[in-house]
Chains A and B, each alone.
Chain A
Amino acid sequence: MTHAISVEAVGIGKHFGTFHALSDVSLKVTPGTVHGLLGENGAGKSTLVKCLLGYYKADDGGFIVDGREASIERPADADALGLGMVYQHFTLVPSMTVAENLVMSRQNVPSVINWRSEIAGLKQFMERMPFKVPLEVEVGSLAAGERQKTEIIKQLYLERKFLVLDEPTSVLTPQEATEMLGLVRGLAHSGTLTIVIITHKLKEVAAFVDEVTVLRRGRMAGSGLVKNLGPSDLTAMMIGEPHAPKNPERKGAPSGEARLAVSGLRTAEDSGRKGLSIDSLIVHANEIVGIAGVSGNGQKDLVEVLGGQRPIASGSMQVDGAPYDASREQSQAHDVRVLPEEPLRNGCVPPMTVVDNLNLRSFDLGSGKSRRSWLDRTGMATRARDMIAAYGIRTPSPQAPIGVLSGGNVQRCVLARELDGDVRLLIVANPCFGLDVKAVAETRARIMAARNGGTAVLLISEDLDEILELADRVAVMHEGEIVHEMPAEGADPQEIGRHMLGHHG
């Protein structure tokens, strides 16, 4: 067993051109503890750990590792000091077994590998571990929680004494998250490892973290022992205001006929992944139906089908009782809109201007619902100016290509475009991914406002908290099927988590 080490960063500064990503940031991690690194998107958390792990070279300040001043110029330096990191997105090779992944990750892999002795060595190593993963199983067939554990085992195998976990629970179910964080805490408190967790989930901080350091806009916003800090203290440090924006108010109850009715929907298998198999999915007016599920269980396919990007094999989609094929004519006739995930990649044309992008829905619409063959460039500019004003979009010029805007402003553009005018059915996928707290609140408020105004909303999200906050009804997807449905009010996250993993009954 290794022993946990202390790591200290003193007065770290890092700038990219004229942009100061970090100014005078210090971090002191006590050995054998779980340290939370908190902050919004863009606060500088990942820049700080990248400096610590040698991916960036800090412009100012220095590091003290295990009581000695350390110069970390490149990743190999951090490696030699026993510093490691588990990334948000897994870095194991899915088509190789756990044992193969572990051996390949070593610095000194021999040219000819004697697998028999390697496996024997790995088995001995695994005996000493506080939790086990199967050695002979392909990583690709492991559940997300197991993979996360394998990543941590890998770091222990590499004899790391200090480990950074980047948003470790973002891809896990609530059960998996609780289990994983419990294990991590156990490792730290047993003196094996010192752990830094990058997170923005305050519940996890309260339950599993010993100390925190909070960053805001590249500067220190505070630090301290978690037991002395309440949630409002942490929120205040993170966003500069004592309270997170309030949840938007829900008005009116779901009503009327089904706005969206999907029945018997099947899609073809896609490169070995099961296709969709949805027997029935209904969304009413004044209702948000949330689709929960572990990432990669068909949610993306469902959005693509509803958005017209993926053909269906059989079954039917109906909007307002009429067959729906996601063509432009029908989406315009029925006022169906889609907020895709990663809006710049899926919903915008990066080289075209903000004005053009804001008019993607309406450039070919004349007065009433007639088609126009000639662009109304004045009308387009006016409409775009109104949207820019109403949604507070920050753009250097309406004529700037939308690709130069920040993530939050691209999201505002897509919101403005898709919520413009009458909206009867809105399909939303992971709308808050990568946004900061204020932008998240704004986005959710707009979705709720649309629902309160009578829009039927289908919300597909990998963030269970988001679904529980917004949805009237929750449906759980597993391997392309909807395996469970329940009202969102009083829904038990643990139960939803079980269904997400395919454990029913």
Chain B
Amino acid sequence: MSTTTTVTTAPASAPVQVGDQWYPIRRTAEALLAPIAALAGAAILFSIFLLCLGASPADFLDLVWRGAFGSWFSIQNTVQRAAPLLLTALCVAIPGQLGLVIIGGEAAVVLGGLAATVAALPLINTSPIIVWAAMAIAGSAMGAFWVGISGWLRAKLNVNEVIASLVLSYIGLALFNHFVEGLLRDPASLNKPSTYGIGDENMLDTVPWLDVHPGLPIGILACLICWVLIYRTSFGFASRVTGGNIRAAQLQGLPVTKLILLACAIGGGCAGLAGAIEVAAEYGRSNASLNAGYGYTGILIAFLARFNPLAIMPMAILLGGLGAAGGLLQRRMGLPDATIQVLQGLIFVSILASDTLYGRFRWFQPRGGA
């Protein structure tokens, strides 16, 4: 007795209607125009702010352009800042697909860097390739573990992941300082406590021909892979279903716990890798320089990009450029250092506010009966 049924013909009443073929294009346009409008809005607000300070918005724009993209040196500076931001933004964007807000990327960066250093130290006399591989694996594993804790707490104990990841971030930074200033400290580092170095021969060089930070191609590759993961695989689809409506996901029997753990681990792995690359390309050792706020700026970028890995790329460049221009602005316009942070804050608030624009304008909406 195993009769089953296939219902394909039944009292269908409405005619098939598949009109409005341009809708997907208009939807994309909406998704592009809303953040552009938000950036324009932030620029206007910031101009008013500058005028209040007695500074000229035009000069400001000019200086930002020169400081961020105006010369080969400034482009390199921008890229160097953008490279880790690509990865730390992914640390927010991947769990973000499941509706989680992970703000603990900073700890994943520093602990990832520390783990990479520790993994490299016993291998410094082998070959650079082996050292780099060990650093990459150790760094991302450490980041995956650290952010994974927040995911585990969320999935198993229903602890709010925002609070958990924030608190774990403080703990992570404390652990990092403890090791760098204690057990792993190189006695030769006097003013700035640091671990032993991985050796000059094991440092990652800039990208051949282009002469840019080696984190850039890795970060871009990671963004592309994550985009494919989110939009082209079953894992990504299930994650988006869970993020869109967890009740529907449960009804479909999707393994929500597993998805949360995996997404947090992948995100944390990206941030940990960022730390490993910073050590291998910039500092050669772990010290307080790693704790440069990349994790926090990554949150901003992920929200600006609405958690889309492709959109993270331009946004990381934009914010990397603003950071690179900071020093120039300070020197030339006599503006306080925090001015850039004011601009970042305005951009953030405008982008969040622009979420309310979606669906407001009829032109972008699907047309025809329903």
Contact = CB atoms under 8 A, between A and B. Distances in A.
Main secondary structure of the interface of B (DSSP, over half): loop
A450 interface: yes
A326 interface: yes
Contacts of A360: 241, 248, 252
A327 B23 contact: no
Interface stretch (A92-100, A206-214, A340-348, A459-467): A340-348
B251 A347 contact: yes
B253 A331 contact: yes
B158 interface: no
Interface stretch (B14-22, B181-189, B293-301): B14-22
A442 interface: yes
Nearest to A346: B247
Given A328-B253, A392-B13, A397 B21 contact: yes
B56 interface: no
Contacts of A363: 234, 237-238
Contacts of A247: none
A345 to B, nearest CB: 7
Contacts of B240: 349, 352, 356
Contacts of A424: 2, 4
B124 interface: no
B250 interface: yes
B5 A397 contact: no
A441 B20 CA distance: 29
Contacts of A256: 1
Contacts of A335: 4
B18 A350 contact: no
Contact of A388 (B16, B20, B236, B247): B16
Contacts of B206: none
Contact of A453 (B1, B5, B11): B5
Nearest to A409: B370
B50 interface: no
B106 to A, nearest CB: 29
Contact of A285 (B3, B10, B23, B367): B3
A350 B367 CA distance: 17
A406 interface: yes
A183 interface: no
A405 interface: yes
B338 interface: no
Nearest to A256: B1
A404 B370 contact: yes
Nearest to A252: B3
B234 A364 contact: yes
A338 interface: yes
A103 B136 CA distance: 70
Contacts of A454: 3-5
Contacts of B252: 328, 331, 360-361
Contacts of A332: 253
A391 B1 CA distance: 29
The winner among B237, B244, B252 for most chain A CB atoms within 10 A is B252
A21 B252 CA distance: 37
Interface in A270-312: 285-286, 307-309
Contact of A349 (B15, B245, B250): B245
Q: How many residues of B sit at the interface, in one of the four size bands?
A: 35 or more
A329 B254 CA distance: 9
Interface stretch (A119-127, A369-377, A497-505): A369-377
Nearest to B237: A363
Nearest to A309: B250
Contacts of B18: 385, 388, 395, 397-398
A356 B244 CA distance: 12
A257 B3 CA distance: 12
Contact of A364 (B6, B8, B238): B238
Contacts of A421: 6
A255 interface: yes
B248 A348 contact: yes
Contacts of A391: 10, 12
The winner among B15, B236, B251 for most chain A CB atoms within 10 A is B251
Given A328-B255, A438-B13, A396 B20 contact: yes
A442 B251 contact: no
Contacts of A351: 244
A392 B14 contact: yes
Nearest to B21: A397
Contacts of A446: 7, 10
A419 B6 CA distance: 7
Interface in A354-389: 356, 360-361, 363-364, 371-375, 377, 385, 388-389
Contacts of B16: 388-389, 392
Contacts of B254: 328
A307 B4 CA distance: 20
Contacts of A340: 247, 251
A56 B27 CA distance: 33
A338 B5 contact: no
A257 B4 contact: no
A390 interface: yes
A445 interface: yes
B24 A404 contact: no
Given A285-B3, A307-B251, A399 B23 contact: yes
Given A364-B238, A454-B3, A330 B253 contact: yes
A411 interface: no
Closest 6 CB pairs of A and B: A453-B5, A454-B3, A396-B366, A328-B253, A349-B244, A256-B1
20 contacts: A285-B1, A286-B3, A308-B251, A308-B253, A327-B255, A345-B247, A346-B247, A350-B245, A373-B235, A375-B234, A375-B237, A392-B13, A395-B18, A395-B366, A397-B18, A400-B23, A404-B365, A424-B2, A442-B12, A453-B4
Given A285-B1, A395-B17, A453-B7, 10 more contacts: A257-B1, A338-B251, A351-B244, A375-B237, A390-B9, A392-B13, A393-B14, A409-B370, A424-B2, A446-B10
